[in-house]
Structure 1
């Protein structure tokens, strides 16, 4: 179990990449190489879950970790949710496992979601509309959202531009339109008890994301995928005022390191009384790690 007194932050956004990169025939290695170049990531090969846990433990940071099930849309082979959960369980002092299910699986996906929460301790679910090729408000996803809401765990959605496919021919087939955060507004209305995390500064739709989060109290924003020095001023303004209780630290590891993100965040003009909420307290409350 995670001891909140021993950690200084909770990273809401880290990726479990291996063994997805072990299949030379499906193109995932090329995609990873292009992403590492886009983010200027320093590693040669994506870290294992064990290596990720060691990295975060050494820095006293807990981390939400997940795969992305985009096999149907992209052909990239899935990293089994059960395998991620079992690996995270070896490091339950520092890792918090989320799962990923293609919403096109309908009721079968909903059944899997219930099983993963009940039998494998999954604490939330990750969606990447651009990689998975769906609009978040497509009703085919309703059975899966219903199961997640009933389980009382959050759903995290990629929003905005993505580094996936950036600079590759045709963007590697990734269509940015699916990740406009405003599509989440319908989900927030239909599932008012589902806690929804809009991941990343949502370029070029930042205002839409902020408006939705202010209007819908079940919408949160994580700050992953961008280096803090590039955060738009309006995002920092809302993070310290109207949304100070629903903004979350996230790095996008392994593309951005938590220590690099935290170093840049420390240099931003953020009020001292707001920093603990963004870095740890909001996430602890969302994930049920504290009673407050």
Structure 2
């Protein structure tokens, strides 16, 4: 019986992805987050699998990112096909997440459906800041409805966002409190606010506490820097609501797993965070 960790937020960071501009990260950002210089040109999937093994990560959810209107300079996407190919090659280690682009109209909805039905993607992913659209804006509502129809969760970055590239600065449009109306309007929809909601972590906790269908993920920030209120929530009355992620390459998986272990979680809360909650929420992950 498998017991490994599930990383629900992982980005492809191969040399090809870096060369193709599929990361959206410039050298300034890599320096800001203190990325290992040896990693900055990218890492082959086979080498990343070795990092997963060293960290005890059984499966990572790879994002087919859609980051902004492609007609606007600085936007980019990771093709669904590229993620599907990796998942097909390593079906026991990777599952895909279908990126959402609210500028593509009905085609975007058809793409989401194809990602889930044809490629086996286990959920949807959306970056509000890349589109300057808040989580409760009407443009995203058809995608929420489609996720309900497909019975898959949707995750989105909430909280502030950094300057990923100096060529294009993005606004912080996704305060966690804006999930309130979404959860009311779509009680069937599983909503995951990733990136902790920093600096509005207490808002993120409050949305998880209020709504049965709202969850959060501790990714994009090294666990030793997680706010105390977030650690307490994950270790106590919110242990069923918090999932583990790295947002690789932002956080190294070995470091993330090690630092979570050093936070002193109760065994049952640690198991929920690192694996059980993900398997319960992402019902399409192979068992």
Q: Is the 8 A contact 2:122 2:283 kept in 1?
A: no
1:29 & 1:235 partners in 2: Cα distance?
Answer: 28
Deviation, 1:11, is: 0.7
Q: In the alignment, which residue of structure 2 is the partner of 1:145?
A: 144
CA distance in 2 between partners of 1:130 and 1:52 (Å): 28
Q: 1:111-260 to 2 correspondence within 5 Å?
A: 111-165=110-164, 168=166, 172-176=168-172, 178-260=173-255
Once the two structures are superposed, residues 51-99 of structure 1 have per-residue CA deviations (whole angstroms, 9 ceiling, x without a partner) of 4334324544111110321241553332111221122221111111101
For 2:161 and 2:197, the matched residues in 1 are separated by 9
Query: Structure 1 residue 280: deviation in Å?
Result: 0.6
- Structure number having the greater helix percentage: 1
Q: Deviations over 1:219-261 (max 9, x none)?
A: 1110001111111111112112221111111111112111101
1:79 is aligned to 78
TM-score of the aligned structures, taking structure 2 as reference length: 0.89
Distance in structure 2 (CA, Å) of the matches to 1:138 and 1:74? 23
Name the CA shift for 1:222/1:114 in 2 (closer, same or farther; >3 Å).
same
Evaluate the alpha carbon distance shift between residue 291 and residue 119 of structure 1 in structure 2; reply closer, same or farther with a 3 A threshold: closer
Contact 2:64 2:96 in 1 (8 A): no
Q: Note the residue ranges of structure 2 that are not aligned, 5 or more in a row.
A: none
Aligned residues: 281
Match of 1:104 in 2: 103
Written as runs of structure 1 = structure 2, the 5 A alignment for 1:29-40 is: 31-40=25-34
Deviates more, 1:56-65 or 1:199-208: 56-65
In 2, Cα distance between the equivalents of 1:30 and 1:251? 17
1:112-155 superposed Cα distances (whole Å, 9 cap, x missing partner) = 11121111111111111112321111111111111111111110
**1:207 shift after superposition:** 1.1
CA distance in 1, matches of 2:105, 2:181: 18
Question: Which stretches in structure 1 are left out of the alignment for 5+ residues?
Answer: none
**Which has more strand, going by share of residues?**
2
Deviations along 1:17-61, one digit per CA (max 9) or x if unpaired, are 45443257xxx7883322221211111313344543343245441
Q: Given the alignment of the two structures, is residue 11 of structure 1 paired with residue 7 of structure 2, yes or no?
A: yes
Q: What is the RMSD computed on CA atoms of the aligned residues? A: 2.4
The 4+ residue runs of structure 1 with deviation greater than 6 A are 289-292
Q: Distance in 2 between matches of 1:78 and 1:187?
A: 25
For residues 50 and 183 of structure 1, what CA distance do their matches in structure 2 show? 39
Separation in structure 1 between the aligned mates of residue 145 and residue 23 of structure 2, nearest angstrom = 34
**CA–CA distance in 1 between the matches of 2:267 and 2:73?**
43
**Are positions 1:21 and 2:18 aligned together?**
yes
Normalised TM-score (structure 1): 0.88
- What is the aligned partner in structure 2 of residue 66 from structure 1? 63
**1:180-220 residue CA offsets vs partner (Å, 9 max, x unmatched):** 11122222111111111100221111111111111011011
Give the whole-Å Cα distance in 2 for the aligned partners of 1:29 and 1:114.
Answer: 24
